[in-house]
Structure 1
Amino acid sequence: MRQTRAPIASRMAWLVFATAAAAYFTAVLHRTALGVAGVEALDRFGIEATALSLLAVIQITMYAAMQVPAGTLLDRFGPAAVMVAGSLVMAVGQGMMAFAPDYGWALAARLLIGAGDAPIFIAATRLVAHHFPPRRVPVMVQITGLVGQAGQLATALPLAFVLHTAGWEPAFGSLAVVGAVVASVVWWVLVRPKNPSFSPERSASMSVRAALTTSMRTPGVRLGFWSHFLGPFSANTVALLWGFPYFTTAQGRSSAEASLLLTSMVIASVTVAPVIGTLTGRHPLRRSWLVLGGAVVVALTWVVILLPTTPRPLWQLVAFALVVGAGGPMSLIGMDFARTHAVRERLGSATGFVNMGGFISTIISVLLVGVVLQAVSPAGASEYTLGEYRVAFAALTVPWIIGVVGVFTSRRDARAVLAAEGVLVPSVREVWRRYRAR
């Protein structure tokens, strides 16, 4: 019996994965669409840097604020149902964005996009954790993120092409249609058959406050939050809003070259993600060192690109984009902390709590860059110089320091819990001694 059912289960797992990954791909496409439309948004709505930042920040703020509520809904109704609902809400938001007559309507549209986006990734990771063996889950989560980040590639290439050739309304209107189609596919594949084996078990309802308190009081989940906080904000700040105008107006690159640089970030993410997933699965007691090591490398890359006072050659900008893009998948290690430390029936809300981290840091980063840009530039400016961008991007030091401190303090608490349970984490020196003794 077991031998005859194994292939069926395997096919089911991959079908569920493909559907969930497609939904996340589309969510990232929605999320990053404004990243190639920053210059057009400045002109269309007659706004300056801070207001443009707010268009991105309000979406990410809604996304972050909805993480724990989305997680409790996921625990209560299952990942497939919330994935359908989220996809439909995003489609409505993009439809509003396409025909927004003024800045206020654009803000409302971005709120809807952020709310709809909130449950998609945590639902996808919940489905992966349910259908694949524990040892393979870190790799599969990274691959889910990898497929999703290809949505950023679709933003940098076909969406940018449609925007610059057909205009604002066709570009964002097409996103609304794609969102509705994906919601229909998820419903058809995962909800319509009413197959209970497609979804994890559902749990009793829990208040958002109780779920948030439970996650905050669990050191390992808290470590996941700070790991996710530290990982993605550099890549998100570049991809979601400030990268395209920085490359074109400050570094003097063409739109095609700016798209190439954003594409390079995706390529780096795609290349590095499976490696990080494999290392996470093989060395679960060294996950925090992966997070911290990645953060140091990305910080040094920012220093190298911001110190020169003249535009950089294209190859240096490509190298910068590759390293920053490679730092993004480090954030998904936080999801693995949630998987291994959270109570199973509250995994959805714990994953949502962890997922808040990276988007809170992104909110801080995107808004900081916009505020500093406007503060150091002449009043009414809609384009900014390289010197002004250098000052603005230097402000990313603030969330970096916050994240590093958060990882160190929560790691200490998590290790104390493990020690009380009889699990001792060897020091780096001890690991090195064992390696040399082989």
Structure 2
Amino acid sequence: MQNSAIDSPRAWLMWSLGALAYVVAVMQRTSFGVASVTASERFGAGASLVSLFVVVQLLTYAGMQVPVGLLSDRFGTRLVLASGAALMCIGQLDLAFSTSVVSAIIARILVGAGDAMTFTAVLRMLPAWFSAGRIPVLNQLTGMIGQGGQLLSSIPLAAMLGIAGWTSTFLAASLASAGVAVVVLVALRNAPPGTPEQPLRIAAGLRAQVMDVLRLPASRLAFWIHWMCAFWTMVFALMWGYPFLLRGLGYPLPVASGLFTVMVIAGIPAGPLIGLLSRRAPLQRTNLALLSSLLAAVPWLAVLLWPGPAPVWLMAIVVAGIAAAGPGSGIGFDVARASNPLHRIGTATGIVIVGGFSAGLVNILVVGVVLDLAGGYTLDAFRWAMSTQFVFWVVGVIGAYQARAQARRLDSARGVRYPSLWAVLRREAANWIVQWRNFRAPAEAVTPPGQLELILDDGRVIRVAAVLPGTGGALVAVDVVPSGAPEDWWHQRVDDYLELVGTEELEVGAVEVRCADAASVARVRALIDADLADRGVPLAHEVTTRGR
């Protein structure tokens, strides 16, 4: 029997507390980016040394991902989340009063360690409080809302830095994490009351578990997807965005802060949209990730080739593209979750995160080195330095498609069918056109509102209510049927269902039939089962009520 606390208001409160912790963690993560120019003056350091502050922070973050997953499994979200907030509090407190490079680096290591203990711990808590169907959306929402922390660092924290100075700004940031630690310890719970504890599975050892994950080509594919999509955001938001806008392009601080705000706002619709497309076309996730990363790569290329400083409108397109590429990295989590068994999901998630953060931290360091070699914070130096992003992007793209080829060979041996990207795009375009036509003129629409047209191999059209993500990479066609339909109607409808499943490019693997009431469910189930028995053919199907 399902626990009554699942999907309850209390569950949403627990998620809200976790999301709050992640918002503050992202603020701490990106806080040094808005202070990098001031840090160069405070510590008397060049670009490469200043970039080292963020590099060690990200290196700590990436290196702790797998251990944090195991810690979350053993001690639960509450303790790990509170400990992470406490570490960030100490780190920012150290940075507030630091006057030496060594002390500042130690501070960023503490911030990186605390940040690493946040996102994974929040995601680990969700299955205990929510039903399985809500988890993918909540994963996207958590990441999307967390980017509000970047808004906090780019506007109020940046403004406070200019008004109150270094010490007061980072002292305030430290107090924010202290407050989160207290709230989490007092109010957050790992699971609803009465939920049995899940013992940690460590028999195989950490190294063996990591190797089991990496042995799967799909896990390596997920790693490279995160690599090619996530590092754009890290290079820009965590370190070099503000110096590039202020020193390279000569923008005033309000314009730079406004562009960071655009980046956060643009990411709000991007996350759910990319998540929806990832679920709708599970066998085209690598191509979807590539398209997502191109939204950052193409505008960046235009900026770097622009004669003179790029105009603000073009940089607005760049930051919007970066915002769209970031959620694309979440496709890697979908790939890893689909290919790894449940007891290795935490390890697989940690390995995927390492991909983007490894690319980000190395690229941040390379940008700093190139800036020093090219003469400092000048526009020409920034052109050469920021162009190194394309090297890391190409490495990620090549790695992803090599891993995809290996994964597809294994899937083909299992009987998985891969339609072309064109077939997927044509299907989605047809669905959106039908929905738009119904919205504009429902009275004249050929199909009733909420129905989709699926085209068979022979050109015949079958209308269903919706197409939803299924299991094993297949889709589920949802059919809302009329009440009291006669037996001969059902005989033809079952034939339609079999045709849908038999059309490869539709990717439909099962049918869900929704009836008006429980009595209709029993009748329809009996009719479908009898018809399939007469034909002697199988069909993956389910009959439910419309209120499901």
Q: Mind listing any 5+ residue stretches in structure 1 that lack a counterpart?
A: none
* Residue pair 1:227, 1:403 contacting (<8 A) in 2 also: yes
Does 2:335 align with 1:300? no
Does 2:379 align with 1:386? yes
Is the radius of gyration larger for structure 1 or structure 2? Answer: 2
State how far apart, in whole Å, the 2-side matches of 1:192 and 1:137 are.
16
Q: CA 1:93/1:75 → structure 2, altered by over 3 Å: closer, same or farther?
A: same
* Residue pair 2:42, 2:99 contacting (<8 A) in 1 also: no
Matches for 1:332-411 after TM superposition, within 5 Å:
332-377=330-375, 381=376, 384-411=377-404
Q: Mind listing any 5+ residue stretches in structure 2 that lack a counterpart?
A: 431-454, 462-548
Matches for 1:78-93 after TM superposition, within 5 Å:
78-93=76-91
Between stretches 317-326 and 384-393, larger displacement belongs to: 317-326
- Output the amino acid matched with 1:400: W
State how far apart, in whole Å, the 1-side matches of 2:407 and 2:14 are.
33
What's 1:426 paired with? 419
State how far apart, in whole Å, the 1-side matches of 2:101 and 2:426 are.
61
Residue 247 of structure 1: CA displacement?
0.6
What's 1:33 paired with? 31
Between stretches 202-211 and 34-43, larger displacement belongs to: 202-211
Matches for 1:146-157 after TM superposition, within 5 Å:
146-157=144-155
Q: CA 1:274/1:42 → structure 2, altered by over 3 Å: closer, same or farther?
A: same
- Output the amino acid matched with 2:163: T
What's 1:105 paired with? 103
* Residue pair 2:296, 2:325 contacting (<8 A) in 1 also: yes
- Output the amino acid matched with 1:186: V
State how far apart, in whole Å, the 1-side matches of 2:268 and 2:103 are.
35
State how far apart, in whole Å, the 2-side matches of 1:276 and 1:293 are.
10
* Residue pair 1:98, 1:168 contacting (<8 A) in 2 also: yes
Q: CA 1:176/1:126 → structure 2, altered by over 3 Å: closer, same or farther?
A: same
Does 2:206 align with 1:208? yes
State how far apart, in whole Å, the 2-side matches of 1:334 and 1:196 are.
33
State how far apart, in whole Å, the 1-side matches of 2:220 and 2:324 are.
23
* Residue pair 1:234, 1:324 contacting (<8 A) in 2 also: yes
* Residue pair 2:299, 2:314 contacting (<8 A) in 1 also: no
* Residue pair 1:139, 1:281 contacting (<8 A) in 2 also: no
* Residue pair 1:229, 1:359 contacting (<8 A) in 2 also: yes
State how far apart, in whole Å, the 2-side matches of 1:336 and 1:295 are.
16
2:21 to 6, 20, 23: 23
State how far apart, in whole Å, the 1-side matches of 2:389 and 2:426 are.
37
State how far apart, in whole Å, the 1-side matches of 2:48 and 2:38 are.
15
Residue 324 of structure 1: CA displacement?
1.5
Q: CA 1:44/1:335 → structure 2, altered by over 3 Å: closer, same or farther?
A: same
Q: CA 1:7/1:127 → structure 2, altered by over 3 Å: closer, same or farther?
A: closer
State how far apart, in whole Å, the 1-side matches of 2:192 and 2:314 are.
52
Secondary structure at the counterpart of residue 401 of structure 2: helix
Residue 134 of structure 1: CA displacement?
3.8
2:178 to 177, 180, 183: 180
**Residues 65-108 of structure 1: per-residue CA shift (max 9 Å, x gap):** 11111112222222332112111111111111111120100001
Matches for 1:226-241 after TM superposition, within 5 Å:
226-241=224-239
- Output the amino acid matched with 2:52: L
More strand by proportion, 1 or 2? 2
- Output the amino acid matched with 1:151: G
Residue 131 of structure 1: CA displacement?
3.6
Residue 276 of structure 1: CA displacement?
1.1
- Output the amino acid matched with 1:375: L
Q: CA 1:192/1:429 → structure 2, altered by over 3 Å: closer, same or farther?
A: closer
Residue 363 of structure 1: CA displacement?
0.9
What's 2:451 paired with? none
- Output the amino acid matched with 1:324: I
* Residue pair 1:138, 1:280 contacting (<8 A) in 2 also: no
Q: CA 1:24/1:102 → structure 2, altered by over 3 Å: closer, same or farther?
A: same
TM-score relative to the length of structure 2: 0.74
2:255 to 254, 257, 275: 257
**Residues 38-64 of structure 1: per-residue CA shift (max 9 Å, x gap):** 111001100000001101101000110
Secondary structure at the counterpart of residue 239 of structure 2: helix
**Residues 112-171 of structure 1: per-residue CA shift (max 9 Å, x gap):** 111111121112222234444444333221111111111000000111111110011111
Residue 256 of structure 1: CA displacement?
0.9
Q: CA 1:432/1:284 → structure 2, altered by over 3 Å: closer, same or farther?
A: closer
TM-score relative to the length of structure 1: 0.92
* Residue pair 1:36, 1:155 contacting (<8 A) in 2 also: yes
2:52 to 51, 54, 66: 54
What's 1:121 paired with? 119
Between stretches 393-402 and 335-344, larger displacement belongs to: 335-344
Secondary structure at the counterpart of residue 74 of structure 1: helix
State how far apart, in whole Å, the 1-side matches of 2:340 and 2:69 are.
13
Q: CA 1:193/1:332 → structure 2, altered by over 3 Å: closer, same or farther?
A: closer
State how far apart, in whole Å, the 2-side matches of 1:399 and 1:8 are.
42
- Output the amino acid matched with 2:401: F
* Residue pair 1:228, 1:332 contacting (<8 A) in 2 also: yes
* Residue pair 1:226, 1:403 contacting (<8 A) in 2 also: yes
What's 1:321 paired with? 319
* Residue pair 2:128, 2:191 contacting (<8 A) in 1 also: no
Matches for 1:158-177 after TM superposition, within 5 Å:
158-177=156-175
Between stretches 57-66 and 336-345, larger displacement belongs to: 336-345
Secondary structure at the counterpart of residue 147 of structure 2: helix
Secondary structure at the counterpart of residue 253 of structure 1: coil
State how far apart, in whole Å, the 1-side matches of 2:418 and 2:197 are.
31
State how far apart, in whole Å, the 2-side matches of 1:214 and 1:36 are.
40
State how far apart, in whole Å, the 1-side matches of 2:275 and 2:10 are.
22
State how far apart, in whole Å, the 1-side matches of 2:75 and 2:415 are.
36
- Output the amino acid matched with 1:179: S
1:68 to 66, 69, 90: 66
Does 2:407 align with 1:414? yes
Between stretches 10-19 and 231-240, larger displacement belongs to: 10-19
Residue 174 of structure 1: CA displacement?
1.0
RMSD of Structure 2 on Structure 1 (CA): 2.2
Secondary structure at the counterpart of residue 312 of structure 1: coil
